Structure 1
Amino acid sequence: MKSILLSVFLFCMVISGCTHHTQPPAAQPSAVEEHSISQISEPPIVSVNLPQVPYGPAIPEKKQLPPPLVNGITPKKLQIPAIHLSTLIEPVGVLQNGQMDVPKAFDRVGILAPWTKPGMKGSAVIAGHFDHYTGPAVFYNLRKLQPGDHIQVSDEAGKVLTFQVNRVESFPASEAPIDQIFEEKEGAHLNLITCSGKFNKKKQEHARRLVVFSELIQ
């Protein structure tokens, strides 16, 4: 390694002109030559204003996220402007089979409680029905959300928290990433979950799970 570094160092010396002793000294001009050179007029300097061209793509500024709230909020209303959704939120628990429960009403959503509240550090989780016997349910259009869309959660006092969608993913029902959905990670996150895919009449469940991952921005 040392020999390689030494070779590189010597190579850099040659490139940078550090071996000037191997170059002959430049000849000095005679008095006549100096007079001739002094008579040569230098061309005028013309300044050209060239437009500034960015080199490569611009790097977006990293957004400054608000810190998590100590106690979060007890949510009562969920609004998602991009899909024209406005509905009530009620607390739900965990079923005997270990799955998160959902409200009995198909036009409401449920937040897992006790668990992380919206705005707190970690991941608050809200679930809702995808459809029912007569047609679409509250979270039927959740699949239309795109990164950058906003999700708003408010409490009884009118305090509103705004979350921004990071990604929307669909998983086979048996492979839903529970550790990601309920993850106790840095920052304040809100994850929305619902069913999706083909309905299996024999199992009485949909083939997939749709998850919207979002984080607090305001």
Structure 2
Amino acid sequence: MASSAAPAPPAPAPPTPSASSTTLSSDGIPTLLTIPALGIKAPIVVTGTDPDGVPETPPFDRPDEVGWYGRTASPGSQGASVIWGHLDTPKQTAVFLYLRDLRPGAQIQVARDDDTEATFTVERVATYPDDSFPSDLVYNDPGYPALRLITCGGGFDRATHAYLSTVIVFARLTAIGSSANGSGTGPS
């Protein structure tokens, strides 16, 4: 992902804990992202906003890491969880180089520091011009535990050193398990 970042979302309300057994606690911090279809196993770092209020992406010097935007829901808890990753860096390709190739039905696992694992199923992958970034679709609570994976895409503007579009994967929680043994059970 180049230097252009998605617009800052409106300040989200804190995630509402759910009494349902189909969600995880809002307290878990994500630690590892696995996307078997793309051969990705990436450590997750927590990111915030810069002094201008723009969401931060992971550092360019660690192209194999992804960043969970800590102002969004914890993966597996109620609401939309946003994870950023770079397509490339000024020196090399990065973890989300082939994110645009993910297909509906693909599985994504997010291990958390509370020894739980949330499994999401991809519903769709879309590319949006940067001037039409769908903040509402990315940040607003869709009414279920959701995951948004985001990277740059489209053409590259050499003058500004930025990509002109954003690739977004939309996924829904489909299983909860233990990250210690990898088992999962579907939501009831």
Q: Shorter chain as normaliser: what TM range? A: 0.7 to 0.9
How far is 1:157 from its partner?
4.8
- Structure with bigger helix share is 1
Deviations, residues 5-40 of structure 1 (Å, cap 9, x unaligned): xxxxxxxxxxxxxxxxxxxxxxxxxxxxxxxxxxxx
Aligned length: 154
Q: In the alignment, does 2:83 pair up with 1:83?
A: no
- Retained in 1: the 8 A contact 2:153–2:164? yes
How far is 1:158 from its partner?
3.6
TM-score, normalization by structure 2: 0.76
- Retained in 1: the 8 A contact 2:127–2:165? yes
Deviations, residues 33-52 of structure 1 (Å, cap 9, x unaligned): xxxxxxxxxxxxxxxxxxxx
Mapped to 1, the partners of 2:126 and 2:75 lie a distance apart of: 21
Q: In the alignment, does 2:111 pair up with 1:161?
A: no
TM-score, normalization by structure 1: 0.66
Q: 1:210 — aligned with what?
A: 167
| Segment of structure 1 superposing worse, 162-171 or 149-158 | 149-158
Mapped to 2, the partners of 1:68 and 1:157 lie a distance apart of: 14
Q: Residues 29-48 of structure 1 correspond to what in structure 2 (within 5 A)? A: none
- Retained in 1: the 8 A contact 2:26–2:73? no
**What's the Cα RMSD here?**
1.7
Mapped to 2, the partners of 1:115 and 1:208 lie a distance apart of: 22
Q: 1:170 — aligned with what?
A: 127
Give ranges in structure 1 of 5+ residues lacking alignment: 1-65
After the TM superposition, which segments of 4 or more aligned residues of structure 1 sit over 6 Å from their partners?
A: none
Identity %: 33
Larger RCO (CA under 8 A, 6+ residues apart): 2
Please state whether the residue corresponding to 2:131 is helix, strand or coil.
Answer: helix
Give ranges in structure 2 of 5+ residues lacking alignment: 1-20, 176-188
